[in-house]
Structure formats: structure tokens, C-alpha cells
Amino acid sequence: MSAFRDLKVVGDDRVTAIGLGTWGIGGYESPDYSRDDESVEVLRHGLELGINLIDTAEFYGAGHSEELVGRAIRGFDREELFIVSKVWPSHFGYSQAKRAARASAKRLGTYIDLYLLHWPGDSWRKIEETLHALEELVDEGLIRYIGVSNFDLELLRRSQEAMRRYEIVANEVKYSLKDRWPETSGLLDYMKREKIALIAYTPLEKGSLARNPCLAEIGRKYGKTASQVALNYLIWEENVIAIPKAGRKEHVEENAGAMGWRLSKEDREKARGCV
């Protein structure tokens, strides 16, 4: 489908502008096995539609989310997929980060395309040690790219300066029509200039934007839903990828429909006024 040629750049790779988010799939802070088969089917459905980015983390379901991603990708061409995972701050540090990455790769059953520091934590020394450990994991082939998550502009710059051999290629942050702090803080513009991908989580504000009548009115002009307008607002930016949660097949299909078209500048401005 042409809609799924809506691609963004991460490092030297091209990924779909909409990815599959897995927060809550397989549990939240502890494993939940009650919907495993359904969750795997939903993820596989997204991959079959042509979405190629899956975002997960060791923290999600205490690692069970990664196990479900590992199940979902079986039978697909691994080189066509882009898997993102994250190390939790309690595992920051040179040795701990390496152990955490290896454990994540084992649960996934494969290497990790993009490995992120999930939150800044409270120690710059630990952040720096972790970044240097991840550079060694790139050399080993366990991960391919290094990124951060929930880093503000100052901490992102500092992390860039700390890198010895590789670059920070992504920063995953909360970003939606309702919460546009990456725009107002200068983070988005800086990341554009530096060619760093911004991966936007909670892009639909837990479904509240899907129920916005103003966005629905804009969407009617394009034959799209309020959710699709809210997602398209984000991916309109050249370096932004959105990762709505892949909870149900129909939601994945609707999310995928946010790709392959763009709001006009006028309608994008109108969308800002809807929230």
C-alpha cells in the first residue's frame, strides 16, 4: 500500500511514520499473561499492514512485553523490522546496562535496532557510563543505534557531547496536540537541525483526542477520523514518528490510516486550536 511508504529516517534506516507502541501490552509494572495471544495477533496485524517499527522496553510488564514482541515478529523478515527497546534507570551504569541489554535481546530473540535510556535518572555519571557501554554494544552488534527518552534539550545536548564514537539518533518524549512542549521548548527545532528523530509517545492522550469533535470536523474534509488528524499533526514534522498503543486490530488499522497524506498548513493551525 502506498500509505505505508510514509517513511522517516532513524540513523541510516527508514521506518514508518507510525509505529506500534506496547506500553501495557503484557502488563504494566508486572507481567500480565491474560491477553498474550490477542496481543501477539494485534502486533502481527500491524506488521502485516506494513508498519515496521515496534517500541518496547524492559520495564513494560517486567520484560514480558519484549517476550510478546519476540513472538510477534517470528516469520517476518527481521531486516525489514525496526525494534526499539529501553534500559530502566535502575540498570544504568557500565556493567548493569550491558546486562540489561543482553537480557532484553534474549527476551526479544534478536538484536535491538535502537536502544534508549528510558528516563534520565538522577546521576549524570551513570548516564555517561551507560552511553559508553552502549557504544561498545554497537561494536559487538547487539544493538545498532543509541538514543535517549524523556531528555530535555539541555540533557540531550550534554549526552551528545558525551558520545565518543557514535551519535544519539533519537529522543522519545511525550508529544501530542494537547502537550506540545517539544515545540515550545525548542527541543523539536533543535532535533530537526541535528537530524535526531523525535519518537512521540502518548500521541492520542489516552484516547481523549480520538473523541475531540473539533478534530473530527477537520478530519471530515480528508475522510479521516479525529485520531488520524491528531497523529497526522505530529508526523507532519519531517523528523517525528508517533507510537500510539497497539491495543486492538481496529485501532492499529485506524492509526495506520494517519499515514500517506498531510494536513494543509491552515488545517494544521486549526487543529492546534481544537485543544
* Active-site residue list: 60
Query: Do the Cβ atoms of 258 and 235 come closer than 8 Å?
Result: yes
CA 65 to chain centre: 14
* DSSP state, residue 122: S
Question: H or E segment at 193?
Answer: helix 187-194
* CA–CA distance, 144 with 138 (Å, rounded to integer): 5
* CA–CA distance, 145 with 120 (Å, rounded to integer): 18
Cα angle: 229, vertex 233, 238; to 5 degrees: 140
Q: Is 170 left (phi over 0), alpha (psi -120 to 50) or beta?
A: beta
Cα angle: 96, vertex 101, 103; to 5 degrees: 95
